[in-house]
Amino acid sequence: MKDMTEQNVIKSTSLLTIEHLNISFTQYESGIHRRVLSVIQDLNVQIHTGELVAIVGSSGSGKSLLAHAVLDILPYNASMEGKLNYCGMPLTKDRIRRLRGSEIVLVPQSIGCLDPLMKIGPQLVKGRKDAASKRCMSSILHYLGLEEELSDAYPFELSGGMNRRVLIGTALAEQPKLVIADEPTPGLDPAIADRVIKYFRDMADQGIGVLLITHDLELALRAADRIVVFYAGNTVEEALPEDFRNESSLRHPYTKALWRAMPQNGFQPLAGTQPYVRDLKEGCPFADRCSMYTEACSQKIPYRALRSGYVRCLYAE
């Protein structure tokens, strides 16, 4: 644990900056036609040390790819453009290959990421056998509330919730500066999900930068320092958790709709569906579900600063 003064100093340094990130895929359809699909457009996010930033979006909005792009593990038919900066220097492919798994770690979405034929313990520490790794292994298991005997178990012998904690454990086994958690809570009951999210909050409090990618806005509001709202491959708003106390302090119509859909705020569902990336047109992706839509919305919309956050909407104020 670091003392408060040091933590405050660290908090001001920028850890990861993503600017104008675009990701697209090449695909075949109906036999022999080829097309290019753009799945993430003009994404901008900044994470500081000791900060937990949540990227919130419904499933199918392409947010998992963001994690893959940062770690340079996109599939071979994907290509990306944009500027990535880590600790003030460009995050080149060479650099990410050196840093991933040590300074920058991923907590993946699927428990299928665990090797079915490798025991939990060795999997936590990447198969290292030295005494320090063994100590590290048992302290992690203890921290995560797992019995020490489980290090000799195979993933199929553990429950889903336990395996998910093991995935978090893999991040703790390193000394990371940046943790990217890709949807770490699906399929968990609320009490356990709460506990899982608390692990990430603890990491941030120790000075680690955490990028939490999730579909669960409520969960994100409980732990995050900043919330980035993601819609159909676009970042539409960046807000503080406090902004979600009132609808008026929010900026984008989609975020407002999300707010209204929360149980404590009236539970009003939003009509329509998020467009599939293939059907996206130039301009605001939310256009066809928005009550403030005008002609001007079919142009490219800039991402601009507004109050203490950002928004991608011409009419937000």
Partner 1 sequence: MAKHWGQHLLKQILRVMLLMAATSIVTFMLMKLSPIDPLQANVGQNALGSMSQEQIAKLREYWGVGADPVKQYLSWAKDFCRGDMGISLLYRQPVRNVIAVKLSNSLLLLAFAWVMSGILGFLLGILAAMYQGRLPDRIIKGYCIIISSTPTFWLALLLLLCFGVWLKVLPIGLSVPIGVEAAGVTLGDRIYHAILPALTLSITGISNIALHTREKMIEIMESDMVLFSKARGESRWAMFRYHGFRNALLPAITLQFASISEIFGGSVLVEQVFSYPGLGQAAVSAGLGSDLPLLMAITLISSAFVFGGNFLADLLYGIIDPRIRRGGQHI
Partner 2 sequence: MKRIRLFFQNRRQRVLVGVILSASLLLILCIVGAFCADAARVTDFSRKNLEPGIPYLFGTDWLGRDMLMRTLAGLSLSIGLGVLAAAVSACIALILGIISATMGKTADTIITFLIDLMMGIPHILLLILVSVALGRGFRGVACGVALTHWPSLARLIRAEVLQLKEQPYIQIARKLGKSNWYLAKKHILPHILPQFFTGLVLMFPHAILHESSITFLGFGLSAEQPAIGIILSESMKYLVTGKWWLAVCPGVMLAAVVMLFYLTGEQIRKLLDPGSVHE
C-alpha angle 132-138-144 in degrees, rounded to nearest 5 = 130
Among 28, 90, 127, 190, binds partner 1 (CB under 8 A): 127
In terms of CB distance, is 26 or 59 closer to partner 2? 26
Shortest Å distance, C-beta 159 to partner 1: 15
Radius of gyration of the chain (CA): 20
On whether the CB atoms of residues 48 and 15 are closer than 8 A, the answer is yes
Distance CA 90, CA 18 (A): 10
Which of the choices partner 2, partner 1, none does residue 100 contact, using the CB cut-off of 5 to 8 A by kind? partner 1
Q: Tell me if 26 contacts partner 2 by CB under 8 A.
A: yes
Selected from 33, 89, 145, 156, the binder of partner 1 by CB under 8 A is 156
Q: Distance (Å, rounded) from C-alpha 46 to C-alpha 214?
A: 17
Helix (H, G, I), strand (E, B) or coil at 98: helix
Q: Which of 109, 73, 111 is nearest to 181 (CA)?
A: 109
Q: Which does 32 bind (CB under 5 to 8 A by kind): partner 2, partner 1, none?
A: partner 2
If the CB atoms of residues 27 and 246 are measured against partner 2, the closer one turns out to be 27
* 110 touching partner 1, by CB under 8 A: yes
Nearer Cβ to partner 1, position 102 or 206?
102
The correct pick among 126, 135, 198, 300 for binding partner 1 (CB under 8 A) is: 126
- Neighbouring C-alpha atoms within 13 Å toward the C-beta of 158: 27
Backbone angles phi, psi at 66, to 5 degrees: -60, -45
CB closer to partner 2 out of 33 and 129: 33
CB 76 → partner 1: shortest distance, Å? 9
Examine residue 102 and tell whether it contacts partner 2 (CB under 8 A): no
Question: Per rule CB under 8 A, is residue 116 in the interface with partner 2?
Answer: no
Q: Out of 2, 35, 97, 198, name the contact with partner 1 by CB under 8 A.
A: 97
- Please choose, out of 119-127, 185-193, 208-216, 256-264, the segment that lies near partner 1 by the rule CB under 8 A: 119-127
d(CA 125, CA 171): 9
- Regarding 246 and contact with partner 2 (CB under 8 A), the answer is no
Residue ranges in 56-95 that form contacts with partner 2 under rule CB under 8 A: 75, 77
Which range of residues in 25-33, 120-128, 270-278, 288-296 is near partner 2 by CB under 8 A? 25-33
What whole-number distance in Å separates Cα of residue 158 and Cα of residue 164? 10
3-state secondary structure of 95: helix
Distances (CA, A) of 105 to 118, 129, 147: 20, 21, 24
Q: Could you give the CA distance from residue 40 to residue 230 in angstroms, rounded to a whole number?
A: 10
Q: Pick between residue 120 and residue 316 the one whose CB is nearest to partner 1.
A: 120
Q: Is 190 in the site for partner 1 (CB under 8 A)?
A: no
- Beta 178-182 vs 209-214: how paired, if at all? parallel
Interacting residues with partner 2 (CB under 8 A): 25-29, 31-34, 75, 77
